[in-house]
Amino acid sequence: MAISFTLLNRIDMSLDMSRVQEKLRACNSQRDAEQIVVSDGNREVELGEMFTIVGDTNAGVQVWNGDFSRADGMAAGLVDEHIVINGDVGHRAGARMVGGHLRIQGNVRNGLGSAMQGGEIWLHGNAGDRVGAAEAPSEKGMRGGKIFVSGTAGDMVGFRMRRGTIVVGGCVGKLTGYQMLAGTIVCADNVELELGREMRRGTILALNSKNTVVASPTFRLSGQFQFSAIEVLLRQLQKSLNASIFANKNSCLTSEWQQLNAILENRFHQHWNLFYGDHLHGGRGEILTPVTSA
């Protein structure tokens, strides 16, 4: 049985939820969960004042219902929990995850999955800036796990990313892969300027052949190739998508994942333009774009 949290009233100030998961793991009863204290602007409140809470705190499955667009740090620090959020979410959702499964049906503000180390995030909506990024410029970004975004994502996707995989079904903003150290970013639709700027290692796949990819000027075209490793990666991602589609086959959002699934499958036997860079920072990063017929 899951435990559910249903928001009673609109959140007017900024609600800090970044330590809720840590505190929930120490709860032995529903009453314990109701007594968890969070910061609501300049005051402290108990969860029981803001939510109707029903269910077993030890179930390992949580369902959150409401508009959380002013709630920051939702599902931060997940270890092995399975969380579903029905509604829009604020900044840093899923930050510092080390495991578990987070599914969001709504839009998310900046910092989705920032500094995460493991687990999976599935966003049925649009994301703001800095998906899978470092929480501060001096820190490392995403170090493991997977993030799937069905819609668009903003600027600096994968900023200082170290490991892991990010897949975006819609358009992405500027500076995707900025200062990327390793890992994989897959962009299914259009990408904006300065792709891979100051990238040291890692791989960015821009799957949309109709989009003219503008990489940072310090990238150089190495040639055109067919990579068996890329096909293996795309098949693995498709397997994850198929599992998600099956698990949520009655959802009205399934069609978005099916569309992304078809895009991946169309690139299985693709020949790729391979760009190496950033040559001002070692030149070991890779940007791959589909080879198109003349």
Query: pLDDT per residue over 49-89, tens digit each?
Result: 999 999 988 888 999 999 999 999 999 999 999 999 999 99
pLDDT at 213: 66
- The helices-and-strands tally (H runs, E runs) of the chain is 5, 17
d(CA 267, CA 270): 5
d(CA 212, CA 62): 42
Distance separating the N- and C-terminal Cα atoms of the chain: 57
Answer yes or no: is 220 within a domain: yes
Give the DSSP H or E segment for 264. Answer: helix 254-266
- 257 pLDDT band, cuts 50/70/90, is confident
Answer yes or no: is 187 within a domain: yes
Answer yes or no: is 84 within a domain: no
Answer yes or no: is 271 within a domain: yes
d(CA 24, CA 167): 30
- 294 pLDDT band, cuts 50/70/90, is low
* pLDDT tens for each residue of 96-151: 999 999 999 999 999 999 999 999 999 999 999 999 999 887 788 999 999 999 99
Total domains, the chain: 1
Answer yes or no: is 203 within a domain: yes
pTM, to two decimals = 0.94
Contact yes or no for 241/254 (Cβ under 8 A):
no
Range of the domain at 119: 98-290
Looking at this protein, which amino acid is placed at residue 67? D
Answer yes or no: is 18 within a domain: no
Mean pLDDT of all residues in the chain? 91
Answer yes or no: is 74 within a domain: no
Answer yes or no: is 46 within a domain: no
Contact yes or no for 272/288 (Cβ under 8 A):
yes
